[in-house]
Structure 1
Amino acid sequence: MALQTSPEQPAPVRQIANAIAGWVDRLGAVWVEGQIAQVNRRPGVGTVFLTLRDSAADISVPVTCSRVLFDSLNPPLVEGAGVVLHAKPVYYANRGTLSLAAREIRMVGLGELLARLERRRQLLAAEGVFAPERKRPLPFLPHQVGLVAAPGSAAERDVLENSRRRWPSVAFRVVHAAMQGPRSASEVIEAVERLDRDPDVDVIVVARGGGSVEDLLPFSDEALVRAVHRARTPVVSAIGHEQDTPLLDLVADVRASTPTDAARLVVPDMAEEVRGVAWARERVRAVLDQLLLHEQAGLDSVRSRPALADPTSLVGARSEEVAQLLTRARRTLSHALDRAADEIGHQRARARALSPLATLQRGYAVLQDDRGRVVTSVGEVSPGEPLRIRVADGRVHATTDRVEALDGAGETHG
């Protein structure tokens, strides 16, 4: 039943603590899965204190177990181990803390661990976390490489030395993180997110040497997988050896079999690139030489043609042809002029034959009265009327004395 309290009748702390302890005590025992983050075994104390951490979230809960139960585990329980335990929630009223009292602890075996990882892989794959189309290509020559590794580890040394051996001027930003143990996943997540926020970092390498499945378990952590999936910078996974395949390898943009292989993938080999440039230069030079030879051969072929070998021969032939055409044109024009002159002469003779002046030159004359009208009949003239007579070389002014008419027989009538 709920406690009846009021500002006038408050309940003491012991009563509230005992009430909470009673409520928690009514809870039954539960099976819990997690990872041992801390083990505290105090000398002379019959209880071992543990910290159980969730594998996918930053949540932990204290656990207590008897020394007899702890010592009976085979293999021994160590930090970072995955366990399934049967425990009952317990509230300690004197300290005001809640913990799980372990009654049974089962170590997660390798087969069961792999089965859990496979189920996790299938769920993440169904969400599209490992989809190939989400993979980003690595830059050819990164401005700066971000490296996540354990401080002073062989993996860090392999990546740095091999990368600088391949490309001496490559720049690194190294962020150290625990690569084993209960804090590994959270520290690697923090390091990846820090490098992803840096605009100068073009690619991130997560490197660790080989180890057992349990040692590499943090790199299959769901939270780490999702953090890499959210990253905007390409990520290279260089965890363990060729046979090791944590889930980080599946979500990363590129998987390297070893840290040394990661150095080969991240930066190009300067010596190889120099050889490639030299080979390309020689190839371009050979192609250019071949092109010049082909064009020179074509030019020589054109120059060897008769028209270009002796240009005056073509000019001479054309000169003779022009001279012939000129002579023909002159002859044709001369003939045309002669025909035109003859035609003009004929037309002139014909015009002269039809001209009244020619008639006058043959002895004929034109008779006109004093008004200039031509007289064609004797009836148009009267005696004593002045007349003008037009002859070939001038006019004669005369006066009519008399007029005679001719009949049809040519006889004169007075």
Structure 2
Amino acid sequence: MADTIEIEIDRGRLNDVPYTIYVERGTIVRFANISSLTALHVRGFSSSYWTSTSTAVVENGSPKTYYVKSNAPISTDQLEVYDPSNKSTRSFTIQVVSSIDKPNPYWMSPSTIDTSYSGLNANEFVVSQTYRLATEDRTVVHLRSDNPEVRFRLIDGSFEGNWVTDLFMNSVYRRDFQIAYRAPTEAFTTKTVTVRIGSRTYTVSLSTDRELVPASHHVISLGHTSGSISLLDIKNFFGGDGNLRDYFRKGRNVPDMAANSGIPTSGDLRITDFRGAATAFFIAVHPSDKPFRQLSTSYGTRSVGVGWNIWSGEVDDWDLGYSKFIKDNAEFRYTLSYQFGSGYGTTNPAVKPKLSSNTGSPGTWSSSNKSVSVTVTAQKREEFRVICTVTMYARHKNYPDKTLSTSASVTVRAVGT
């Protein structure tokens, strides 16, 4: 079965795809202009290969879709990217083949991926190991899922792309990717989703391997043990959409803990069931150390920055539980420590590692302080090796004595020759 592919064009050239692209008959080809400067043209469509032969005038943000005929010749069609702003052109070839060796990600079994979830948050998006895409032919491969909760991102060395619901990958240059998917809502259960990679479908099984609320956690009380309580009170505390049926115990918003024993897991649910309710406050996902970085200072001063975030998005470097909404009721701050190694040059460089955050004050508690980074700078021909460790603190804004901490590191080597 033929697939959909996307070809990015930028200022009269193809962006990070081969200039000979293999496709099957019936393939849907989408041309996307990533240049914000001008509309770009793709032209030269032959009536033997394409259902439309008109020139594609591709504006930024408005892809154009063309269809390879189901009876197209098993041969090549020559197309051209034209940039009207500078009159430049670049030719490329569409090679129609009878079939493409279906993408075979390394380290992935023929039909099933079994992954054990080591996190503790029912709402957490779980990130897979890194897979490498391998195809026999040069082509563009479409990664997507029928499940809207599945995400993909490109991995290219130390570069990590944004999480997206579908991803077009060049099978020649950038071939590493990760999958993320939401965990089951209960402990010791299995959730199955499917992902489609090119023309092949994989089953992804995800199992929680422990209780969703850890033994060590802070209890945060709703604060209503008697008297009136409203649905808005419940929504503001637990998060969610404000529909009462979103708040069954053991679901995505209300943890299964002693304080919530009066809240049912199904059936009839009443607002009064939430008197004395509470949630758990804990680190659901700890941040990972960042990959090793190296600076070449032979020709001048060089810097590198690495960071971690805990935005309100779905896939972050670290996260809090219980539920994805609790971090909206948290405040954050950060500290930096570093250790220069002996035997690698200086242990006292002119510029020390620097900590920064999106608020400008990494050491100050703030609910907006959700992204932190460390920058290492080496002057010309300076050499050293340093391990930078960022400690990340979180506290509940209504209970500032309920504090959590975790840490992650990055190693940077400066080489001057």
TM-score, normalisation: structure 1: 0.22
| Structure 1 or 2: more helix by fraction | 1
Question: Which structure has the higher relative contact order (CA within 8 Å, separation 6+)?
Answer: 2
TM-score, normalised via structure 2 length: 0.22
Structure of larger gyration radius:
1
**Which structure has the highest strand share of the two?**
2
